[in-house]
Structure 1
Amino acid sequence: MSTPSLGADALVDQAECFKTFLGLNQPELGDKFLFVMGLTGAGKKNHSPRVIQLQREVVDEKKNLGETAAGIAAAEYLYKARLEHNNQLKRLNTELERTSLGSDKEYSLQQQELKAEVDKEIQQTEQGRRAMVKTMVDLHQTETRALKQRILNLRSQFEAEVQNKEMMLQDVQESCDALQKEVARLTNHPQQQQLVARRTKTD
């Protein structure tokens, strides 16, 4: 499965958005939810191409969230962020081991504090990933419920229109039947037909 191609500006924008979402820019919890709402276009009357694509991939193509374009882009960023944190942690561990053999205790303490900070960022990344997956699932379920409700409403409207058309057709059929009976009756009674014709001329 190929990863969707994105322009450089789009990648930078997504990276900044994901950094904010993952807590690296320290947003409020409400901001994270609003970010995902804005990213997918949920809650808008006219949905963005992203949420339409997400619906098509999940509903029509039966893909898991991780297989969608949005899921792949999110997973790619999270993987790179986690990889960078792990690499940074390895470098710090190496530096910490090297400095622990020396006499500079203050520098060693700084390295330990920096290591703790990186560990915290890794934990925030993992928490952000779980929160993002949960939010995407919740948004998908909300969109699915709304779509099902719309289908039910359209079906009810269609059935009501069909019933109305059938009633109108029945009325027309009854009128035609009555007219045919009248024509047949007049045909079988020529005198009455002449009488009706005279009355019509008189009127």
Structure 2
Amino acid sequence: MEAPDTVMDDRLLHQRVVGGDESVLGEIYDRLGALIFGLAVRVTRDRTVAEDITQEVFITFWERPLAFDPDRGSLRSWLATIAHRRAVDHVRAEERRKAGALGPKLVDPRPPVPEEQVLDADEAARVREAVRRLPEGLRQVIELAYYGGRTYRQVARELGLPEGTAKSRIRLGLRTLADSLADEEV
């Protein structure tokens, strides 16, 4: 059982995040960052991946603070659970990649129908236009990652950005694109 002071502290921190107080993230990171990072390192055995997971955990809390319920447990446990799940997911994905478990790509045996080709070309043009309308920083990372086939680490090196920044911009760019394309019903 959590100490009453910790429960009250979690509630106050949670209320501040829900209220949009950006400074609270620094406080939470100072309090729990080493725990989250240490957990991710133990599971992944990779400090760089653990740094990314740590950043993702805190971004998740910032973007979806209502997913945390102080009545169900401590903030420490909730963030640690997210970190552990992400770390395990990463390890499993790496194991699949190394084992080649993804298998051969499936090919549609049907020849393309002309109407489908036209619709696909129209949709691709609309996506390219939506990418073109993105702000410069987001457009660059999306073009390098998706049209250039680069990983977020390669994007970071090429643009001289921290890896976490490149990853965040890719995520924000994709979210912005999804919103834009949803408005256009693509």
TM over 0.5: no
**TM-score normalised over the length of structure 2:** 0.25
Highest relative contact order (Cα 8 Å, sep 6+), 1 or 2? 1
**TM-score normalised over the length of structure 1:** 0.23
| Higher helix content, 1 or 2 | 1
